[in-house]
């Protein structure tokens, strides 16, 4: 089954710096989604990028997709302590019914 692999597993930065997380996947996708999870809570959807898109922005978030390399990246600019969370990618196969996640990237933003 399709599942993204996030890299790095953990990332620690200072407030104000940019944070970049990567996601790799194995087969053709219809779209790829990024989610955020605060400790002990449910996931919250951040952004969806379709297979025919290369880049998408939402506020301080920038997502890129390279289907030839089967990879995506999530950039958070000017990070804040409140951005501390786990971030998951969810590549979605063309069949579109399953929704699976990898192990995530644990981001810590130090004040």
Partner 1 sequence: DGGITQSPKYLFRKEGQNVTLSCEQNLNHDAMYWYRQDPGQGLRLIYYSQIVNDFQKGDIAEGYSVSREKKESFPLTVTSAQKNPTAFYLCASRGQFGSTEAFFGQGTRLTVV
Contacts with partner 1 by CB under 8 A lie at 1, 30-31, 33, 35, 40-45, 48, 50, 88, 90, 92, 95-104
- Choice between 74 and 104, CB closer to partner 1: 104
- Choice between 25 and 35, CB closer to partner 1: 35
CB of 35 to partner 1, least distance (A): 8
Determine how many CB atoms are found less than 10 A away from the CB of residue 66.
11
What's the CA gap between 87 and 58, in Å, rounded?
Answer: 15
CB of 68 to partner 1, least distance (A): 21
Which residues contact residue 106 at a Cβ distance below 8 angstroms, ignoring those fewer than 6 apart? 9, 10, 11, 86
Which residues contact residue 39 at a Cβ distance below 8 angstroms, ignoring those fewer than 6 apart? 85, 86
- Choice between 83 and 104, CB closer to partner 1: 104
CB of 15 to partner 1, least distance (A): 24
Determine how many CB atoms are found less than 10 A away from the CB of residue 2.
19
């Amino acid at each position: 089954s399709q599942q993204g692999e996030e890299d790095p597993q953990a990332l620690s930065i200072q407030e104000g710096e940019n944070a970049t997380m990567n996601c790799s996947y194995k087969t053709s996708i219809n779209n790829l989604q990024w989610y955020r999870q605060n400790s002990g809570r449910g996931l919250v959807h951040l952004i969806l990028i379709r297979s025919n898109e290369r880049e998408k922005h939402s506020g301080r978030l920038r997502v890129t997709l390279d289907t030839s390399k089967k990879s995506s990246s999530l950039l958070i600019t000017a990070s804040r302590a409140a951005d501390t969370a786990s971030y998951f990618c969810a590549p979605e196969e063309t069949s579109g019914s399953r929704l699976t996640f990898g192990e995530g990237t644990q981001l810590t933003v130090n004040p």
